[in-house]
Amino acid sequence: MRPHRPTPELPQHLAELYDRFPFDRSLADDPISVIRPLATDLRRAEIAGVFGATLAIGNTTSIRGAIGRLAALAGGDLASLVETRRAPSAAAWRTFKHRWIRGDQLAYLARVLADVYERTPSLEDVFVVGWEADGFRGGLDALARTLRGDGAVARLGRPPAGYRALFPTPRDASRSPCKRLTLFVRWMVRDRFPDLGVWRRVPTGALYVPLDQHVYWIAYHLGLTQRRSRSWPAVEEVSEALRRIDPLDPTRFDFVLCHTGISGDCPKERDLAVCGPCSVRPDCLLWRGRTAVA
């Protein structure tokens, strides 16, 4: 079977999809809708972003609920989680759970962040060191290792079981797509709606796509990757394909593609009633070479 490649018209069709997209509808269903009100300055944006991205497992309703419960535990200000005199008690942390993420793990993350902020003003500094050495992959690796607490065990104690697995890096043998940390960096860097744009030293054009299940499925069927599973190499393929379309803003279409899947606008099967109006239907593997007949 010949590999499915993007059509020459795909850039125009993606732009049409973007221009028609109901952002207001999907923003209310996205975790960033909970993060934005908490991000009142750079540090609060980073803290809310790290906790929010770490909790970005499962459907958007459960993720937003988990961020809301964590904010309630912090008295409405997630920055208080990293302040010793305002942090929740161990008993309070034990009441928190989201999927397989436990309160003791998040309490350790709070201690890691407090330790980081004693040594550097921003997580952007951490990312930039790695990025300048080895591009986006290096930046993500530096960020992941810092959040794992690598090199800080003597100060912080051993992390709880399962904690380090919350922060995979592209350099791990698993070749994880690192969706949650990549999402965090997109929130911090990209200064266009709906992102926060609080980091100033990393250009938007350097970003990679947070490859969740929805974005991966659509990207594969548009020919943006030939990889048959989500992995870091798939992230690189999709990101480079979108970078060729928009070199200055390669993650421009990420929110739209993600919520096209979440909302059911993409049914992930041939359904003319749903697919008929879709701008990228002529590019989709399910429809290429087929006429729009029910």
Q: Report the C-alpha gap between 286 and 222 in whole angstroms.
A: 9
Whether residue 52 is predicted with pLDDT greater than 60 in this model: the reply is: yes
* Res. 283: pLDDT tops 70: yes
pLDDT tens-digit map of 150-194: 988 889 999 999 999 999 999 999 899 999 999 999 999 999 999
Q: List, as one string, the DSSP characters of 250-294.
A: TTTTHHHHHHHHHTTSS-SS--HHHHTT-TTGGG-TTTTT--S--
**Number of domains observed in the structure of the chain:** 2
Same domain for 95 and 12: no
Where residue 1 sits, what CATH number does that domain have? 1.10.1670
Q: pLDDT (tens digit, 9 = 90+) per residue, 116-152?
A: 999 999 999 999 999 999 999 999 999 999 999 998 8
Tell me, yes or no, whether 63 and 166 share the same domain.
yes
Boundary of a domain, candidates 171, 200, 229: 200
| Residue (of 85, 48, 83) closest to 68 by Cα position | 48
Residue where one domain finishes, among candidates 200, 232, 266: 200
Determine the pLDDT at residue 3: 77
Each residue's pLDDT tens digit, 79-106: 999 987 788 888 999 999 999 999 999 9
Residues 91 and 168 in one domain: yes
Instruction: Identify the DSSP state of 38.
Output: G
Q: Which residues contact 107 (CB under 8 A, 6 or more apart)?
A: 87, 88, 90, 93
288: pLDDT strictly greater than 90:
no
The parent domain of residue 163 ranges over 31-200
Mean pLDDT of 30-36: 95
CB 265 within 8 A of CB 274: yes
Do 62 and 152 sit in the same domain of this protein? yes
With beta carbons less than 8 A apart as the criterion, state whether 111 and 156 touch.
yes
User: Which whole number is the average pLDDT over 232-261?
Assistant: 97
What per-residue confidence (pLDDT) applies to 264?
92
168 and 240 assigned to the same domain? no
Say which amino acid occupies 286.
Answer: L
pLDDT at 291 over 60: no
What is the secondary structure of 216-235 as a DSSP string? HHHHHHTTS---SS-SHHHH
Tell whether 143 and 2 lie within a shared domain: no
Question: pLDDT at residue 1 above 60?
Answer: no
Is the CB of residue 73 less than 8 Å from the CB of residue 92? yes
**What's residue 87's pLDDT?**
83
Distance in Å from the first CA to the final CA of the chain: 25
Q: Are 3 and 221 in contact (CB under 8 A)?
A: no
Secondary structure of residue 102 in the 3-state scheme:
strand
Q: Tell me the CA distances in angstroms from 194 to 6, 218, 268, 285, one per residue in order.
A: 27, 21, 25, 29
37 and 138 share one domain: yes
Tell me what the mean pLDDT of segment 238-260 comes to: 97
- Whether residue 221 is found in the same domain as residue 256: yes
Verify that 51 and 128 share a domain, yes or no: yes
How far apart CA 271 and CA 277 sit, in angstroms, is 11
The amino acid at 249:
D
* 45 and 142 part of one domain: yes
> How far, in Å, CA of 237 to CA of 177, rounded?
11
Same-domain pairing of 62 and 172: yes
Instruction: Give the Cα-Cα-Cα angle 74, 80, 86 (nearest 5 degrees).
Output: 90
92 and 226 co-located in one domain? no
Which residue among 200, 223, 258 closes a domain?
200
Long-range interactions of 122-130: CB distance < 8 A, separation 24+: 122/42, 122/43, 122/46, 122/199, 123/46, 123/50, 123/188, 124/46, 124/188, 124/199, 124/200, 124/201, 124/202, 127/185, 127/199, 127/202, 128/201, 128/202
Find all residues with CB under 8 Å of 40, minimum gap 6, and list them. none
